[in-house]
């Protein structure tokens, strides 16, 4: 579902904020992107659930402060800026804008550009 | 070797995740005979010397003894739909121009001008004749010499001797193959079991819905081998485990000396055996629905129905039959569950990987890039059945080039496949870099006896080919 005002980005509803307790992580699909939602105290961070080192899921990675550590090979990222914190990758997290509307976590992961290969012909 | 007496374990299953042949018994439709057939080539241990992936001498040997001598997959007929259309097929520093010379005839020529050597065709192009961009020497579509500007200046050029040199060119199922060896046996000998196994799938009646060419910083064999086994899924595609029978994958090899074919069947909509006997089948089905739906935006994602008389795999298959049937105006009602949802990939030596079925109807092609043994090109197509009901054949998708440092992520139309390919692509330059720095006493790869047997078979055939 797109956000109420189409002019202000591509925010889509994900889960209720109440379902994301402090310290919790939850992965959702936004279009074709798997997005990891992480709650730290009152902040919610959203980023692509694919570590830029080898594109593995970050879900389940240990969180210290606002740093998440990838469970696979140990890359660390600051969830506020997306910046890598050690040398294993120089690439940053793909961060997405988050807002809360009516108690729902909304995420803007950009426009969805997928055509449907089975629906564009015949039928 | 003592190890050879060990019994081969043919895949690893769980209570929640049976082996493919057991899943086929529960199929709601008649299963194509090819899927029930099993390979005849024995599995065994093998180590592979790593220098064959990086030595320029080995690449040169491959050019002379492999690429100049065997049937290889060049392109699809629909890439050059009209008479006079042509497209290059470039393998290392060899290049051939594939031309539609008549309504249903094809020819392949060395892609080199007989005047001073210019490459004649750099990409999809068209015309009644083939004309060199440098001085305009020109040939007819049958290869006969048409014109030489300032013909008076070339009194010794005999038109018959200046026909464009051609190479053998044959087709099967809409696929075009070439063989530069003038003494080669017909293509049919090299196809082996493919025509029989693909009879129900009818690859000729499909079109290319997307076509990507990716440059990779790894030897063509490293790139190819990464796609011949499902052993890497547990580590490289972890998020697929919920709905993929990776460890239960069935591998088969057929080799009669003239044809060298292998296959894998990775079942879908069941949990990975790695997740144990109590892994959730319902979750597997829901994740499979989600994965297929990712390539179909706007289509509601169904949910597993525990009350249905159909098992989970059959539910996903039935939804796919209806979606594809409605979208394409074709009838899929007799197509087996496995054909609708599983990942079934064939390989024909040396560069041709056609997938079977609607689960993942891809075609891969693997090629060396120039004369650099550390680089390759992988081409990926998705083929879709041509629409029924008299609708016109859709045009073949243009080729989307992805450079070394670009990701498949730049092509959103491929849905979930983008991240899967990018995960694979991430490994390849690491393998190439690592193998070049191996300790000399351990400069070999060690293959799993069952799960990596297709790689072993490939190297057996490569050895035979290079020694010939
Ligand atoms: S995938 Fe995250 S550190 Fe390697
Ligand atoms: S674990 Fe297989 S190549 Fe490293
Ligand atoms: Fe892979």
Asked if B39 and B263 touch (Cβ cutoff 8 Å), the reply is: yes
What pLDDT shows up at residue B2? 45
What pLDDT shows up at residue B237? 96
Closest ligand 1 atom, residue A70 Cα: 2
CB-nearest to A115 from B330, B389, B413 is B413
Residue nearest to atom 3 of ligand 1 (CA): A73
Residue nearest to atom 1 of ligand 1 (CA): A54
H-run or E-run covering A38: strand A33-40
> Hey, is the C-beta of B234 within 8 angstroms of any chain A C-beta?
no
Rounded to an integer, what distance in angstroms lies between the CA atom of residue B89 and that of residue B106? Answer: 13
| Count of residues making up chain B | 468
Residue with tokens 């199929």: B27
What pLDDT shows up at residue A2? 43
Residue with tokens 């099993």: B38
Pairing mode, strands B175-179 and B72-76: antiparallel
CB-nearest to A55 from B209, B298, B419 is B419
> Hey, is the C-beta of B33 within 8 angstroms of any chain A C-beta?
no
pLDDT classification of A110: cutoffs 50, 70, 90: confident
CB-nearest to A117 from B209, B298, B416 is B209
Asked if B182 and B166 touch (Cβ cutoff 8 Å), the reply is: no
Phi, psi of B64 (to 5 degrees): -75, -45
What are the distances in angstroms from CA B117 to CA A24, A70, A109, B167, B209?
65, 53, 50, 17, 35
- Helical segments of B157-251, H only: 187-191, 194-197, 220-225, 233-236
pLDDT classification of A32: cutoffs 50, 70, 90: confident
CB atoms closer than 10 angstroms to residue B87: 23
B24 C-alpha to ligand 1 centroid (Å):
37
Rounded to an integer, what distance in angstroms lies between the CA atom of residue B461 and that of residue B281? Answer: 40
Residues of chain B scoring pLDDT < 50: 1-3
Q: What is the dihedral sign for C-alpha B331, B266, B78, A123? A: positive
Give residue B73's Cα distance to chain centre. Answer: 9
Nearest to B311 by CA among B1, B7, B29: B29
When pLDDT is averaged across residues A109-123 and rounded to a whole number, the result is 60
Closest ligand 1 atom, residue A71 Cα: 2
When pLDDT is averaged across residues A8-16 and rounded to a whole number, the result is 90
- The structure tokens listed for B6 are 């060990």
Ligand in nearest proximity to the CA of A53: 1
Question: A123 exposed, middle or buried (CB, 10 Å; 0-12, 13-18, 19+)?
Answer: middle
Q: Is A119 among the domain residues? A: no
Q: Where are the domains of chain B?
A: 2-56+200-467, 72-179
CB atoms closer than 10 angstroms to residue B144: 13
H-run or E-run covering B352: strand B352-356
> Hey, is the C-beta of B418 within 8 angstroms of any chain A C-beta?
yes
Rounded to an integer, what distance in angstroms lies between the CA atom of residue B318 and that of residue B314? Answer: 6
For A59, residues 6+ apart whose C-beta sits below 8 A from its C-beta are A25, A27, A36, A49
Residues with CB under 6 A from ligand 1: A 51, 53-54, 56, 70, 72-75, 88
- Lowest mean pLDDT of A18-22, A49-53, B14-18, B43-47, name the range: B43-47
pLDDT tens digits, one per residue of A72-82: 888 999 999 99
> Hey, is the C-beta of B210 within 8 angstroms of any chain A C-beta?
yes
Q: Over 50: is that where the pLDDT of A3 sits?
A: no
Residue with tokens 């057939």: B37
**Does domain B2-56+200-467 sit in CATH 3.90.380.10?**
yes
What are the chain B neighbours of A55 within 8 Å (beta carbons)?
A: 419, 422-423, 426
Count structural domains, chain A: 1
Domain that holds residue A26: 12-109
> Hey, is the C-beta of B389 within 8 angstroms of any chain A C-beta?
yes
Pairing mode, strands B250-255 and B399-402: unpaired
Q: Is A121 among the domain residues? A: no
Instruction: Name the DSSP class of B119.
Output: B
Asked if B115 and B132 touch (Cβ cutoff 8 Å), the reply is: yes
Give B444's strand partners.
B49
B410 C-alpha to ligand 2 centroid (Å):
27
CATH number, domain containing residue A24: 2.102.10.10
CB-nearest to B295 from A53, A117, A122 is A117
Rounded to an integer, what distance in angstroms lies between the CA atom of residue B246 and that of residue B252? Answer: 15
Three-class SS of residue B245? coil
Q: Where are the beta strands (DSSP E) in B93-239?
A: 94-102, 105-110, 129-131, 138-140, 145-147, 166-172, 175-179, 206-216
Pairing mode, strands B352-356 and B362-369: antiparallel
Instruction: Name the DSSP class of B449.
Output: T
What are the chain A neighbours of B324 within 8 Å (beta carbons)?
A: 118
Q: Is A4 among the domain residues? A: no
The percentage of chain A sitting over the pLDDT mark of 70, rounded to a whole number, equals 85
Higher-confidence residue: A118 or A121?
A118
What pLDDT shows up at residue A76? 94
What is the reported pTM? 0.92
3-state per-residue secondary structure call for B34-61: HHHCCCCCCCCCEEEEHHHHCCHHHHHH
Identify from A50, A114, A115, A120 which residue to disrupt to test chain B contact, counting B C-beta atoms within 10 A and taking the largest count: A114
Tell me if A122 and B391 make a contact (CB, 8 A cut-off).
yes
- Superfamily for B72-179? Rieske [2Fe-2S] iron-sulphur domain (2.102.10.10)
Rounded to an integer, what distance in angstroms lies between the CA atom of residue A87 and that of residue A75? Answer: 8
CB atoms closer than 10 angstroms to residue B94: 18
Ligand in nearest proximity to the CA of B430: 2
Chain A positions contacting chain B at CB under 8 Å are 29, 31-32, 34, 50, 53-57, 112-119, 121-123
What pLDDT shows up at residue B298? 80
> Hey, is the C-beta of B394 within 8 angstroms of any chain A C-beta?
yes
- The structure tokens listed for A86 are 């050690």
Pairing mode, strands A67-69 and A76-78: antiparallel
Ligand in nearest proximity to the CA of B364: 3
């Amino acid at each position: 579902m797109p956000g109420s005002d189409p002019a202000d980005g591509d925010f889509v509803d994900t889960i209720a904020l109440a379902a994301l307790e402090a310290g919790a992580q939850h992965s959702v699909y936004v279009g074709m992107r798997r997005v990891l939602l992480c709650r730290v105290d009152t902040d919610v961070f959203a980023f692509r659930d694919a570590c830029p080192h080898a594109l593995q899921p970050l879900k389940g990675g240990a969180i210290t402060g606002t740093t998440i550590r990838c469970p696979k090979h140990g890359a660390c990222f600051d969830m506020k800026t997306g910046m890598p914190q050690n040398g294993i990758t120089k690439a940053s997290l793909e961060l997405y804008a988050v807002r809360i509307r009516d108690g729902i976590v909304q995420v803007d992961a950009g426009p969805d550009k997928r055509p449907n290969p089975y629906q564009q012909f015949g039928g | 070797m003592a190890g050879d007496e060990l019994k081969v374990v043919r895949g690893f299953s769980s209570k929640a995740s049976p082996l493919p042949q057991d899943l086929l018994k529960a199929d709601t439709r008649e299963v194509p005979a090819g899927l029930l057939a099993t390979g005849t080539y024995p599995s065994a241990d093998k180590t592979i010397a790593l220098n064959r992936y990086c030595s320029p001498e080995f690449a040169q040997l491959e050019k002379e003894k492999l690429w100049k001598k065997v049937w290889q997959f060049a392109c699809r007929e629909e890439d050059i739909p009209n008479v006079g259309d042509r497209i290059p097929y470039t393998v290392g520093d060899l290049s051939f121009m594939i031309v539609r010379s008549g309504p249903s005839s094809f020819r392949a020529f060395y892609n080199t001008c007989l005047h001073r050597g210019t490459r004649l065709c750099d990409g999809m192009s068209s015309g009644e004749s083939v004309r060199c961009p440098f001085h305009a020497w020109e040939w007819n579509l049958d290869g006969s010499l048409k014109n030489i500007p300032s013909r008076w200046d070339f009194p010794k050029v005999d038109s018959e001797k200046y026909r464009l040199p051609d190479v053998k060119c044959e087709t099967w199922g809409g696929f075009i193959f070439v063989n530069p060896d003038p003494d080669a046996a017909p293509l049919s000998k090299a196809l082996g079991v493919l025509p029989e196994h693909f009879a129900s799938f009818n690859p000729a009646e499909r079109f290319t819905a997307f076509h990507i060419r990716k440059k990779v910083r790894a030897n063509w064999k490293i790139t190819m081998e990464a796609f011949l086994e499902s052993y890497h899924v547990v580590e490289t595609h972890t998020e697929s485990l919920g709905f993929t029978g990776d460890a239960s994958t069935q591998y088969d090899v057929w080799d009669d000396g003239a044809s060298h074919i292998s296959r894998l069947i990775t079942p879908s909509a069941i949990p990975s055996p790695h997740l144990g006997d109590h892994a959730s089948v319902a979750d597997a089905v829901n994740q499979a629905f989600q994965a297929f739906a990712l390539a179909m935006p706007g289509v509601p994602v169904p949910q597993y129905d525990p009350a249905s008389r159909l098992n989970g795999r059959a539910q996903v298959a039935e939804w796919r039959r209806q979606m594809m049937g409605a979208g394409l105006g074709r009838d899929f009602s007799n197509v087996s569950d496995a054909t609708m949802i599983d990942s079934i990939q064939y390989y024909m030596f040396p560069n041709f990987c056609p997938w079977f079925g609607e689960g993942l109807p891809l075609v891969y092609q693997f090629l060396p890039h120039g004369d650099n043994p550390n680089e390759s090109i992988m081409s990926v197509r998705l083929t879709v059945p041509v629409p029924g009901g008299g609708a016109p054949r859709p045009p073949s998708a243009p080729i989307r080039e992805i450079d070394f440092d670009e990701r498949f992520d730049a092509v959103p139309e491929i849905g979930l496949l983008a991240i899967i390919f990018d995960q694979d692509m991430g490994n390849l330059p690491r393998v190439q870099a690592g193998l070049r720095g191996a300790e000399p006493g351990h400069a070999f790869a060690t293959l799993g006896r069952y799960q990596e047997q297709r790689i072993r078979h490939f190297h057996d055939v490569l050895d035979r080919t290079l020694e010939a």
